[in-house]
Structure 1
């Protein structure tokens, strides 16, 4: 089954808009400066109907096809990263029995957001742009009938990473590839799994921004702006198990049983107890 390039062009703005809404919904912990990322990706590629212009198959179209590849990245800062990506596709030329090899390789610049996103710090949205080449090869018949065609491609897109583990993450990515010589817009939507190494991915983070690094933080999901103790947990002045920012009776006598509001279970006046 083939999806038309026109449909791809219609889908891509929607995918990018969806990613933009994700970016505006919150933020996440950024990757550490100086860390390296290696990841494998797989996805579905939509080819523009002009992609074979300038080849022996001028006037034909490439079938949209699943494929994948490998990427390598370096986090220049905790927000900016450089990545190199190589993807491979074995693609049929529509209305023929011929297959061609398509290679897409590019260098990208990512901007990664940081902070709280979707209620926690494991999500990391990003925007990306880059440049590279799309190479189409046919070697069915051997020399001298082999040929290849290179096209410069500018890419742009958005995505989001999710941290499975301090060093492992998955990502979803929606990308557009604009041809330069032959024009036309391709689209690629992919999922990846990656591994990060370099700095200790736990010790360098303070996910909840309370001033206590994650490797020592016993309460790593403290809401923003809440005062914490040396353990990274919200202050509980009266020691009743209810942190002050939730405690309606912050001066409950020591040892007194309290309810979920931090007040004595029977016969209490929240106003009097808060004095």
Structure 2
């Protein structure tokens, strides 16, 4: 069974490589801020054939020896990774010291030396926490690890005062190990980490020190080393999604504040337009001529005035005659309608419309026609605003015609807002057609 497990380790390593490659391709395709998830580490430290986690020791004097190792790691999330570890070194011990219990030493083996030819294990590593949750790349983290693997070793033992001899000939003993560890990492730079750790390896056997007592052996490895991140981008292990979520919330708040500022600015602009329209339509004396065009403000109520707002010296004669409107007359009006333009969102007539309006005014004076002006808008904006704007534009045309000599009493100006569309308001072209002032001669 141990040989089968040993054979499966390369398969597990290959699966780790393939899975990591697929995930890296997926991250590269979906995340512009790519994070690197592969790393390698080298370390060195102290190997001892004992553990403080329970059990009895086989020798009274367990010595510390040099150990060294390396690993390759794949980080799947900021908190979880798989690590393939390899460790080599020597384990030594003897019975030169008295047992702390005071019992006599009954072991036939006086000393041992184990050459740890290889130790390979696949470990799950869990980052317990980062020190600063509001720092996207913390500088210190603690982790715990656990896994399974194989250890291959050769043992030499000494009996009495004799020298060390092979315990099992030249045969390498292979046994299952269960490593459990704790560690801490310090980020030295964007690609290099200081790695400090301690691992206890539980051996599925009692051959590690050449003395069989019926209980499984164990050994510890305390180490320090460096970890090197591979590839481009920052290390996924130091990536803090909680901090990023916090930053995104701050950014969303800033965006909301900016949108509120735009809304307030638009409200202020609407208030300014309403004020301008109210000023344009204001008729204090009620004579039908706006204050801005009234040259004789304060005329008594009921006084007949001319186009400039001044009282007529003689009442205009009432002429009862048949009104005949020719095609030429209609052509003058139609041309004025086509050329009529206002400033955006205002009732101010653009100067390019004056020439055709002048011809309409001359026509009204010459033939004493009556004219109905009907202002219309699209459905953009509020109903109240559109009604005021349509009325203001019709009144503006009336005021201009009166300023050119037309009789104010023969011109009627009405605003209908968006209530009488001639095209759909769902398209820009339709809304353009609906924004109009209609002229009706009679």
Question: Shorter-chain-normalised TM-score: which range?
Answer: 0.5 to 0.7
**1:155-166 superposed matches below 5 A:** 155-166=179-190
**Structure possessing the higher radius of gyration over alpha carbons:** 2
Residue pair 2:144, 2:182 contacting (<8 A) in 1 also = yes
Residue pair 1:174, 1:190 contacting (<8 A) in 2 also = yes
Asked if residue 83 in structure 1 is aligned to residue 116 in structure 2, the reply is no
In the alignment, the residues of structure 2 paired with residue 129 and residue 184 of structure 1 have an alpha-carbon distance, to the nearest angstrom, of 18
Post-superposition Cα deviations, 1:123-154, rounded to whole Å, max 9, x if no partner, equal: 12111101112221269999x94122122111
The normalised TM-score by structure 2 is 0.34
In the alignment, the residues of structure 2 paired with residue 46 and residue 204 of structure 1 have an alpha-carbon distance, to the nearest angstrom, of 30
Question: Partner of 2:47 in structure 1?
Answer: 45
Higher relative contact order (CA 8 A, sep 6+): 1
Q: Which has the higher strand share?
A: 1
RMSD: 4.1
In the alignment, the residues of structure 2 paired with residue 165 and residue 122 of structure 1 have an alpha-carbon distance, to the nearest angstrom, of 9
Alignment gaps of 5+ in structure 2 = 1-33, 52-57, 96-109, 157-163, 207-215, 255-442
Post-superposition Cα deviations, 1:205-232, rounded to whole Å, max 9, x if no partner, equal: 76595549xxxxxxxxxxx89x8679x9
Residue pair 2:198, 2:222 contacting (<8 A) in 1 also = yes
Question: Partner of 1:36 in structure 2?
Answer: 38
Question: Partner of 2:229 in structure 1?
Answer: 196
Alignment counterpart, residue 110 of structure 1, candidates 103, 125, 138:
125
Question: Partner of 2:115 in structure 1?
Answer: 101
Distance 1:165 1:147, change over 3 A: same
Distance 1:82 1:210, change over 3 A: closer
Give the Å deviation of 1:202: 6.8
**1:111-190 superposed matches below 5 A:** 111-117=126-132, 121-137=138-154, 145-182=169-206, 183-190=216-223
**1:233-248 superposed matches below 5 A:** none
Residue 145 of structure 2 aligns to a residue in which SS? Answer: strand
Give the Å deviation of 1:184: 2.8
The total of aligned residue pairs comes to 181
Post-superposition Cα deviations, 1:180-222, rounded to whole Å, max 9, x if no partner, equal: 223133222111201012350079976595549xxxxxxxxxx
Residue 169 of structure 1 aligns to a residue in which SS? Answer: strand
Question: Partner of 1:240 in structure 2?
Answer: none
